[in-house]
Structure 1
Amino acid sequence: MRSDDVFYFSLAEDYTKCPNWSEDEGHPASNALKHRIVCYARDDPPDERWTDTELDGFSHIMAGVSDVPKQQFVGTDMQGNVYVLGGGDDEIEQPLKKWKETGVKRGAITRLRTIEGVLYVAGTGRSVGYREGKNNWISLTQGMSYSSDTEWNTAGFLDIDGFSRSEIYGVGRQGDVWKFDGKIWSQVHFPSNIDLYSVCCAGDGFVYISGYGGTTFKGRNNKWTKIHDDTMTLPFNRMVWYEGKVWCTSDYGLWTIENDKLEVADVSDEVKVASGYMSVKGGTLLLGGYSGASYCQAGKWTVIF
């Protein structure tokens, strides 16, 4: 979400709907599929609300928004290719540099998250950094130990979030949790070695971290409590704080956490079918997935498509 009334969607071609596709041919390479960034400006006239840009050579584009130095969409794919839209820009920028070149990238890029208006990027190999402007990403990757021989398949990150730029948490494989205090990174003593997929620095002052099977922990610094055991078919893709609750989603549904209890979200089936990914901006929660998109404002859900 760029604002309460401007939403972005990252789309990839559904290859199973192609006329010549068959299961025998297997999964095509992601960068061989069509990818499209779609903008929805809900306050514009109906015939002007939707615009789109098609990108070649990208794979699995993650959507992000920066407020600093200016408000705009920023998308990166797993390989670190970058596309920027808004604020007078509509262009493909230089790819993220590798960490050996003092850049961010030490693995596959997995997540974008806005913290205090600044867009942060995270990836495997404990890749992490933030964007200061056009073609200007500041790497924080070099501040964390990493062995390509022993940790290539175990080190984070798969998600990142922060209360502020001086308290940021990155989470990843096999219980790999790190905290950034604005100057240095330190590894968190986490009570589990399960793969961790999502983190939310919530408005109640706690950090929520969820992993394999939806197993979820609540805590901060080095003190953690398990509040939900493994009962889910899929882990949560996203966790966000909205209207006094933690909201969690996967391709299979939408849940909330309140008073340390995980419950199925009290929304209609028409809203729930859009489960998959979430974004929060101001007083709006945006939900989007394979089967549609909806948003919530002041407790009221509106189906977009």
Structure 2
Amino acid sequence: MEISESDFEYNFAGYQIVDCVVRSDDLFYFSLMEDYTKSPDWKGGEGPSSDELLHRIVCYARNAAPDERWTHTELEGFSNIVAGVSEVPKQQFVGSDIQGNIYVLGGGDDDIEEPLKSGKENGVARGAITRLRTIEGILYIAGTGRSVGYREGPDQWISLTQGISYSYDIDRSTSGFRDIDGFGRSEIYCVGGEGDVWKFDGKTWARVHFPSNIRLYSVCCAGDGFVYISGYGGATFKGRDNKWKKIHDDTMTLPFKRMVWYQGKVWCTSDYGLWTIENDKLEVADVSDEVKVASGYMSVKGGTLLLGGYSGASYCQAGKWTVIF
């Protein structure tokens, strides 16, 4: 284990991981939400809404002095913070909750910024924010209502929703984005809704002719030159542009929350486990049970794959897995 009992109690006890992100090989962030089921006052049934719960951003600086490796910031009024890292204009953690409230940490900053502007204000947030992802150093954001844009700097989010049609009355139950990824700024894919896939060429958006109307949850623009898109029941497709083939059926209990490219494979995770895709075959990842219990959320950067979930956290570097807790 890479965390002491006292550091675990101070930073993680009473909370659950709702996202994680790698800033560098020695700097990780975890987004936490208060776990009301662990409260002695909870007697079962429906709990409070997420914006009534406390949230934390925990930072793990692996190369810092032992008493400075683990720190956290507590946030009120946020609701389920998704985690990202921006490289431009400087490297730092950026988190957004589903309502577009923004928190920034690192590079000399520790700030709650202005909330994202709504679509009615020509802003990014036409719906709930679901994903942050770094593409060529730029932090992109996606959400329901076919929300999409990127961050230029403090309080500066540029909307890319122009050219993506959306009608709340017509499209709200079938359209909208849950994930975003790209090979670069001139080839970006957004997925969600019922087979709702769009491609951005750096100037304009085009609807992708996707071969299924299942609900989509995750996308990975992989190092092998293909795009992997997964949806309900783990059904997974491989392709690019308008050419796609199904490589796995919807036989799983939960969809994949995250898909990333690492060490020549696509890695996929849900609350129920960790899998890899190689040669068009989905297989259970060859990792220990201690690593598997950390399944849920995942992030990759450089030589590091970070895994975090309800029951723990682990990371892989140079082919070796290390259990954090």
Q: Shorter-chain TM-score category?
A: over 0.9
1:225 aligns with 2:245: yes
Q: What is the identity, as a one-letter code, of the residue corresponding to 1:11?
A: L
Partner of 1:6: 27
Q: Which residue of 2 aligns with 1:154?
A: 174
Gaps of 5+ in 2: 1-21
2:218 aligned to which of 190, 198, 201: 198
Name the residue aligned to 1:65.
Answer: 85
Deviation at 1:71, TM superposition (A): 0.2
Give 2:165's aligned residue.
145
Distance 1:243 1:256 in 2: 11
Give the CA deviation at 1:141.
Answer: 1.3
Q: Which of the numbers 47, 50, 54 marks the counterpart of 2:74?
A: 54
Task: Tell me, yes or no, if the aligned pair for 1:168 and 1:179 is still in contact at 8 Å.
Answer: yes
TM superposition outliers: structure 1 runs of 4+ over 4 Å: none
**1:25-46 alpha-carbon deviations (Å, 9 max, x no partner):** x221101111000000011122
In the other structure, the counterpart of 1:213 is: 233
The equivalent position to 1:83 in structure 2, one of 90, 94, 103, is: 103
Name the CA distance, whole Å, in 2 between partners of 1:275 and 1:148. Answer: 34
Alignment gaps of 5+ in structure 1: none
Partner residue of 1:262? 282
Letter in 2 for 1:159: D
In the alignment, does 2:43 pair up with 1:22?
yes
Counterpart Cα distance in 2 of 1:61 and 1:22: 26
Question: 1:143 is matched by which residue type in structure 2?
Answer: G
Per the alignment, residue 281 of structure 1 pairs with 301
For 1:233 and 1:17, the matched residues in 2 are separated by 25
Alignment-mate amino acid for residue 201 of structure 2: D
Counterpart of 1:192 in structure 2: which amino acid?
S
Displacement of 1:143 after TM fit?
Answer: 2.1
Inter-partner Cα distance in structure 2 for 1:283 and 1:255: 19
Hey, what does 1:300 align to over in structure 2?
320
Residues 94-121 of structure 1: CA distance to partner in whole angstroms, max 9, x if unpaired? 0000112110011110000000000000
Deviation at 1:142, TM superposition (A): 2.4
Asked if 1:132 is matched to 2:152, the reply is yes
Match of 1:271 in 2: 291
Q: Which residue of 1 aligns with 2:122?
A: 102
Name the structure 1 match of 2:17: none
9-18 or 215-224: bigger deviation:
9-18
TM-score between the two structures when normalised by the length of structure 2: 0.93
Distance 1:34 1:148 in 2: 31
1:250 corresponds, among 249, 254, 270, to: 270
> How many residues are aligned here?
304
Query: Of the candidates 54, 61, 71, which is equivalent to residue 41 of structure 1?
Result: 61
Cα distance in 2 between the residues matched to 1:44 and 1:134: 27
Cα distance between partner residues in 1 of 2:254 and 2:284: 14
CA distance in 2, matches of 1:273, 1:149: 41
The Cα offsets for residues 9-60 of structure 1, whole Å up to 9 and x where unpaired, read as 0001110111211224x22110111100000001112221000000000000
CA distance in 1, matches of 2:203, 2:131: 21
Deviates more, 1:99-108 or 1:211-220: 99-108
Residues 214-245 of structure 1: per-residue CA shift (max 9 Å, x gap): 00000000000000001110000000000000
**How far off is 1:295 after superposition?**
0.6
- Whichever residue aligns with residue 116 of structure 1, its letter is E
Question: Normalised by the size of structure 1, how large is the TM-score?
Answer: 0.99
User: Which deviates further from its counterpart, 139-148 or 117-126?
Assistant: 139-148
- Are 1:183 and 2:203 matched, yes or no? yes
Residue of 140, 164, 168 corresponding to 2:188:
168
Q: Partner of 1:64: helix, strand, or coil?
A: strand
Give the whole-Å Cα distance in 2 for the aligned partners of 1:52 and 1:185: 39
In the alignment, which residue of structure 2 is the partner of 1:32? 52
Q: Is the 1:99–1:142 contact (alpha carbons within 8 Å) kept by the matching residues of 2?
A: no
Distance 2:162 2:121 in 1: 10
